[in-house]
Amino acid sequence: MSNQRPGKRKPASMSDQMGAGMKEVLFFKYAKEVLEQNGNEDAAFYFEQMETWLREGNSLPTDGKYVARALGV
The verdict on residue 13 lying in a domain is no
The verdict on residue 8 lying in a domain is no
Owning domain of residue 66:
26-71
pLDDT tens-digit readout, 11-20: 766 555 556 7
**Global confidence as pTM:** 0.69
Query: Average pLDDT for residues 55-72, to the nearest whole number?
Result: 88
Residue 11, sorted as left (phi over 0), alpha (psi -120 to 50) or beta, turns out to be beta
The verdict on residue 9 lying in a domain is no
- Identify the residue with better confidence: 60 or 19: 60
pLDDT tens-digit readout, 32-58: 999 999 999 999 999 999 999 999 998
| Structural domains counted in the chain | 1
- 54: exposed, middle or buried (Cβ count in 10 Å: 0-12, 13-18, 19+): buried
The verdict on residue 4 lying in a domain is no
The verdict on residue 3 lying in a domain is no
The verdict on residue 1 lying in a domain is no
pLDDT confidence bin for 28, thresholds 50/70/90: very high
List Cα–Cα distances, 42 to 1, 38, 46, in angstroms: 71, 11, 7
